[in-house]
Structure 1
Amino acid sequence: MANIEIQPGPLLSQIEYPDDLRKLSREQLNILCDELREYIIDMVSVYGGHFAANLGVIELTVALHYVFQTPYDQLVWDVGHQAYAHKILTGRRKVFHTNRRYGGISGFPRRSESIYDTFGVGHSSTSISAALGMAMAAKYAGDTQRQHIAVIGDGAMTAGLAFEAMNHAGVSDTNLLIILNDNCMSIDPNVGALKEYLTDITTSPTYNKLRQDLWRLLGKLPMSDISRELAAKIEAGLKGLLTRSSNLFEALGLRYFGPIDGHNVQKLVDTLTDLKQIPGPKLLHIITVKGKGYAPAEKDQTKWHAPGLFDKVNGEIQKKISPTPQPPKYQDVFGLTLLELAEQNDKIIGITPAMPSGSSLKFMMEKMPHRAFDVGICEQHAVTLSAGMATQGLKVYCTIYSSFMQRAYDQLIHDVAIQDLPVVFCLDRAGLVGEDGATHHGAYDLAYLRPIPNLIISAPMNEEEMRNLMYTAQLPHITHPFVIRYPRGEGVMPDWRKPFREVPIGKGRQIAEGKEVAILSIGHAGNFVTEASKMLLTEGIQPAHFDMRFLKPLDEELLHQVLQQFPIIVTVEDGSRIGGLGSAVAEFMALHGYHNQLRILGIPDRVVEHGKPAELHHECGYDAEGIAAAVRSLLQEKVMVSTSGSNC
Structure 2
Amino acid sequence: MPEDNLLKAIHGPQDIKEMNLAEILELGKEIRDCLINNVSNNGGHLASNLGVVELTIALHRVFDSPKDQIIFDVGHQCYVHKLLTGRYEKFQSLRKEGGLSGFPNPEESMHDILKTGHSSTAISSAVGLLKAFQLNGENDRYVIAVVGDGAMTGGLSYEGLNNGGRMPGNLIVVLNDNDMSISENVGSFAAYLSKIRSRQGYFKFKDILTRITTGTPLIGKVFYRFFQKIKQALKSFFYQGNIFEDMGFAYFGPIDGHNQKTLERVLKRAKNLKKPCLVHVKTVKGKGYSYAEDQPADFHGLSSFNVATGEHGKKVKPDFSDIFGEELCRLAMDDHRICAITAAMGAGCGLSEFAKTFSGRFYDVGIAEQHALTFAGGLARNGMKPVFAVYSSFLQRGFDQVIHDIALQGLSMTLCIDRAGIVGEDGETHQGLFDIPMLLPVPGISIYSPTSYAELRCILRNRVLNGTGISAIRYPRGYEPDMVLPFHHLEEPAEYTGTSKELCIISYGRQVVNCLKGIRLANLQVSFLKLNRIFPIEEQLVRSLMQFKKILLIEECYQTGGIGSYLGNLLMNRHYTGYYRNFGIDNLFLKSGKPDDLLAECHLDGASIAKMIRKFEEYPE
Pairwise TM-score range, normalised by the shorter structure: over 0.9
Query: Gaps (5+ residues) in structure 1?
Result: 1-5, 185-194, 643-648
Q: Which structure 2 residues correspond to residues 73-222 of structure 1 after superposition, within 5 A?
A: 73-184=68-179, 195=180, 197-198=182-183, 200=185, 204-212=190-198, 215=202, 218=205, 221=208
Contact 1:430/1:485 (<8 A) preserved = yes
Query: Gaps (5+ residues) in structure 2?
Result: 215-223
- The offset of 1:401, in angstroms, is 0.8
Contact 2:198/2:266 (<8 A) preserved = no
- The offset of 1:99, in angstroms, is 1.2
Q: Does residue 243 of structure 2 align to residue 248 of structure 1?
A: yes
Q: Does residue 388 of structure 2 align to residue 388 of structure 1?
A: no
Summarize the Cα distance change of 1:341–1:458 in structure 2 as closer, same or farther, 3 Å threshold. same
Q: Which structure 2 residues correspond to residues 49-68 of structure 1 after superposition, within 5 A?
A: 49-68=44-63
Contact 2:450/2:509 (<8 A) preserved = yes
Distance 2:22 2:149 in 1: 30
- The offset of 1:230, in angstroms, is 6.2
The aligned counterpart of 1:486 is 475
Counterpart of 1:408, as a letter, is G
Distance 2:207 2:329 in 1: 64
Q: 2:333 aligns with which of 333, 343, 351?
A: 343
- The offset of 1:37, in angstroms, is 0.7
- The offset of 1:288, in angstroms, is 0.4
Secondary structure of the residue that 2:582 maps to in structure 1? Answer: strand
The aligned counterpart of 2:213 is 226
Contact 1:517/1:631 (<8 A) preserved = no
Distance 1:516 1:201 in 2: 77
The aligned counterpart of 1:188 is none
The aligned counterpart of 2:295 is 300
Distance 2:124 2:110 in 1: 19
Q: 1:573 aligns with which of 549, 555, 558?
A: 555
Q: 2:530 aligns with which of 540, 543, 547?
A: 547
- The offset of 1:559, in angstroms, is 2.4
| CA-to-aligned-CA distance 1:179-229 (integer Å, 9 cap, x gap) | 000011xxxxxxxxxx55435479842432354578257169565152765
- The offset of 1:276, in angstroms, is 1.1
Contact 2:197/2:252 (<8 A) preserved = no
Summarize the Cα distance change of 1:451–1:217 in structure 2 as closer, same or farther, 3 Å threshold. closer
The aligned counterpart of 1:29 is 24
Q: 2:613 aligns with which of 631, 638, 647?
A: 631
Counterpart of 1:561, as a letter, is S
- The offset of 1:133, in angstroms, is 0.6
The aligned counterpart of 2:359 is 369
The aligned counterpart of 1:560 is 543
Q: TM-score normalised to the size of structure 2?
A: 0.94
Q: Does residue 587 of structure 2 align to residue 605 of structure 1?
A: yes
Summarize the Cα distance change of 1:510–1:81 in structure 2 as closer, same or farther, 3 Å threshold. same
Secondary structure of the residue that 1:266 maps to in structure 2? Answer: helix
Summarize the Cα distance change of 1:262–1:604 in structure 2 as closer, same or farther, 3 Å threshold. same
The aligned counterpart of 2:518 is 532
Contact 2:448/2:533 (<8 A) preserved = yes
Distance 1:349 1:198 in 2: 30
- The offset of 1:494, in angstroms, is 10
Query: Once structures 1 and 2 are overlaid, which stretch shifts more, 599-608 or 170-179?
Result: 599-608
The aligned counterpart of 1:237 is 233
Contact 2:508/2:532 (<8 A) preserved = yes
- The offset of 1:24, in angstroms, is 1.4
Secondary structure of the residue that 1:472 maps to in structure 2? Answer: helix
- The offset of 1:555, in angstroms, is 2.9
Distance 2:336 2:288 in 1: 45
Summarize the Cα distance change of 1:494–1:370 in structure 2 as closer, same or farther, 3 Å threshold. farther
Summarize the Cα distance change of 1:428–1:269 in structure 2 as closer, same or farther, 3 Å threshold. same
Q: Does residue 320 of structure 2 align to residue 330 of structure 1?
A: yes
Contact 1:331/1:360 (<8 A) preserved = yes
Summarize the Cα distance change of 1:143–1:547 in structure 2 as closer, same or farther, 3 Å threshold. same
Counterpart of 2:509, as a letter, is G
Distance 2:497 2:192 in 1: 69
| CA-to-aligned-CA distance 1:357-382 (integer Å, 9 cap, x gap) | 11111110011111111100000000
The aligned counterpart of 2:406 is 416
Contact 1:308/1:318 (<8 A) preserved = yes
Identity percentage over the alignment? 37
Summarize the Cα distance change of 1:454–1:238 in structure 2 as closer, same or farther, 3 Å threshold. same
Distance 1:553 1:517 in 2: 23
Q: CA RMSD in A?
A: 2.2
Contact 1:401/1:429 (<8 A) preserved = yes
| CA-to-aligned-CA distance 1:556-578 (integer Å, 9 cap, x gap) | 212221231x2111112221111
The aligned counterpart of 2:509 is 523
Distance 2:209 2:250 in 1: 22
Counterpart of 2:202, as a letter, is W
The aligned counterpart of 2:440 is 450
Distance 1:70 1:590 in 2: 55
Secondary structure of the residue that 2:529 maps to in structure 1? Answer: strand
Counterpart of 1:584, as a letter, is Y
The aligned counterpart of 1:3 is none
Summarize the Cα distance change of 1:197–1:223 in structure 2 as closer, same or farther, 3 Å threshold. closer
Distance 2:7 2:462 in 1: 57
| CA-to-aligned-CA distance 1:379-427 (integer Å, 9 cap, x gap) | 0000000000000111111011111111100000000111121110001
Summarize the Cα distance change of 1:417–1:220 in structure 2 as closer, same or farther, 3 Å threshold. closer
Distance 1:441 1:284 in 2: 33
Distance 1:444 1:601 in 2: 16
The aligned counterpart of 1:187 is none
| CA-to-aligned-CA distance 1:581-618 (integer Å, 9 cap, x gap) | 10011101110000221221222111211100001111
| CA-to-aligned-CA distance 1:477-524 (integer Å, 9 cap, x gap) | x2211100111111126999xx9x9825xx211244445221111212
Counterpart of 1:576, as a letter, is Y
- The offset of 1:52, in angstroms, is 0.6
Counterpart of 1:241, as a letter, is F
Counterpart of 2:346, as a letter, is P
Contact 1:463/1:493 (<8 A) preserved = no
Distance 2:417 2:169 in 1: 39
Secondary structure of the residue that 2:376 maps to in structure 1? Answer: helix
Secondary structure of the residue that 1:291 maps to in structure 2? Answer: coil
Number of equivalenced pairs: 608
Q: TM-score normalised to the size of structure 1?
A: 0.90
Distance 1:211 1:112 in 2: 40
Contact 1:124/1:156 (<8 A) preserved = yes
Distance 1:314 1:611 in 2: 27
Secondary structure of the residue that 2:429 maps to in structure 1? Answer: coil
- The offset of 1:49, in angstroms, is 1.2
Distance 2:337 2:436 in 1: 28
Q: Does residue 285 of structure 2 align to residue 290 of structure 1?
A: yes
Q: Does residue 334 of structure 2 align to residue 352 of structure 1?
A: no
Distance 1:341 1:502 in 2: 18
